[in-house]
């Protein structure tokens, strides 16, 4: 039997597993997408907000499109980005601020995977910094939280895979909270090289935004203290990825004007 969009909304509003979406045909999947407020689209996914009727909560939904047979097979085996992202959110809950997972559904017809999670209200750190909305007394504790959060993630045996400023959400409460988003590239790993890449991604992003080194060091020192390691050890681990990421960014955007921690590794 084909699931209707009303049944899907009813299941969501009651907090039940969204099994209706698992049996939906292509038309119903498209209708579901149209009912979402789409925030971002990519070649293999889209993300948006699903507003549940009757005064219920708003959910964040990420749809991973099964565009080829390998993706469909991975879904059948409970593998791929959606399943990894769910595992990361579950593993990190209680250790650092992450959205609460609200369910995962694989459509048996298309192979598309839908991951639902708590919608956290706020603005990402990149947007706030580039917009000049963060005074230094506010930015410093946020950078400290970023370092501590990444350290806790690494200590839990996970790496993020895309630890950029745009994946750090500043929740507008007092004091401000920092939540980590987007676990598509996450994975279980304790390898120093993969942990170093997370650190490098954050540093290169800071260079892109011309962040003063004194502020970038707040992140570095907080991460090092929470591991615990020395800042020099952290930079040594991050050095190979830093060189690669800088070279890639320079080819794409031109030579950078800022190079942080020059001569320290």
pLDDT score of 17 = 42
Answer yes or no: do 136 and 249 share one domain: yes
For 76-132, what is each residue's pLDDT tens digit?
888 889 999 999 999 999 999 999 999 999 999 999 999 999 999 999 999 999 999
Answer yes or no: do 143 and 113 share one domain: no
Asked which of 92, 118, 144 is the last residue of a domain, the reply is 118
Asked which of 62, 87, 118 is the last residue of a domain, the reply is 118
Total number of domains in the chain: 2
Answer yes or no: do 152 and 112 share one domain: no
Q: What burial class does residue 197 get, using C-beta atoms within 10 Å of its C-beta: 0-12 exposed, 13-18 middle, 19+ buried? A: buried
Q: Exposed e or buried b for every residue in 50-85, given b needs 16+ CB within 10 A? A: beeeeeeeebbbbbbbbeeeebbebbeeeebbbbbb
* Domain boundaries, position 43: 5-118
Task: Tell whether 259 is covered by a domain.
Answer: no
What is the radius of gyration, based on Cα positions, of the chain? 20
Q: Is the dihedral of CA 153, 45, 123, 220 positive or negative?
A: positive
pLDDT score of 197 = 98
SS3 143: helix
Answer yes or no: do 132 and 244 share one domain: yes
Answer yes or no: do 42 and 156 share one domain: no
Asked which of 99, 118, 137 is the last residue of a domain, the reply is 118
Answer yes or no: do 45 and 166 share one domain: no
**Whole-angstrom distance, CA of residue 220 vs CA of residue 260:** 11
Place of tokens 């959110």: 89
Answer yes or no: do 102 and 130 share one domain: no
Answer yes or no: do 103 and 17 share one domain: yes
Answer yes or no: do 178 and 243 share one domain: yes
Task: Tell whether 263 is covered by a domain.
Answer: no
pLDDT score of 195 = 98
Give start and end residues of each alpha helix (H) in 77-175: 81-92, 125-130, 136-155
CB atoms within 10 A of CB 255: 9
Task: Tell whether 246 is covered by a domain.
Answer: yes
**Whole-angstrom distance, CA of residue 97 vs CA of residue 250:** 33
CATH of the domain at 50: 3.30.200.20
In this prediction, the residues of the chain whose per-residue pLDDT falls under 50 are 1, 14-17
SS3 195: helix
Task: Tell whether 182 is covered by a domain.
Answer: yes
pLDDT score of 206 = 96
Task: Tell whether 93 is covered by a domain.
Answer: yes
Answer yes or no: do 112 and 49 share one domain: yes
Answer yes or no: do 145 and 107 share one domain: no
Answer yes or no: do 163 and 73 share one domain: no
Task: Tell whether 39 is covered by a domain.
Answer: yes
CATH of the domain at 188: 1.10.510.10
């Amino acid at each position: 039997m084909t699931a209707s969009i009303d049944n899907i909304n009813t299941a969501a509003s009651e907090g039940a597993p969204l099994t209706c979406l698992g049996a939906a045909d292509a038309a119903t999947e498209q209708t579901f997408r149209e009912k979402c407020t789409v925030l971002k689209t990519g070649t293999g996914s889209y993300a948006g907000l699903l507003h549940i009727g009757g005064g219920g909560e708003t959910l964040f939904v990420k749809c991973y499109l099964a565009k080829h047979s390998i993706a469909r097979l991975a879904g059948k085996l409970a593998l791929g980005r959606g399943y990894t992202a769910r595992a990361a959110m579950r593993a990190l809950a209680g250790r650092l601020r992450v959205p609460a997972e609200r369910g995962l559904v694989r459509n048996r017809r298309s192979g598309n995977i839908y991951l639902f999670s708590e919608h956290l209200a706020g603005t990402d750190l990149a947007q706030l910094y580039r917009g000049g909305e963060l005074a230094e007394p506010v930015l410093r504790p946020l950078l400290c939280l970023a370092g501590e959060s990444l350290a806790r993630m690494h200590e839990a045996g996970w790496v993020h895979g895309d630890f950029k400023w745009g994946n750090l959400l500043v929740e507008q409460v007092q004091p401000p909270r920092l939540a980590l988003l987007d676990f598509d590239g996450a994975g279980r790993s304790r390898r120093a090289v993969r942990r170093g890449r997370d650190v490098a991604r954050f540093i290169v992003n800071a260079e892109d935004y011309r962040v003063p080194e004194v502020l970038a060091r707040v992140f570095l020192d907080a991460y090092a203290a929470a591991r615990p390691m020395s800042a020099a050890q952290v930079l040594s681990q991050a050095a190979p990825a830093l060189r690669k990421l800088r070279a890639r960014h320079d080819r794409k955007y031109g030579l950078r004007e800022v190079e942080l921690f020059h001569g320290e590794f």
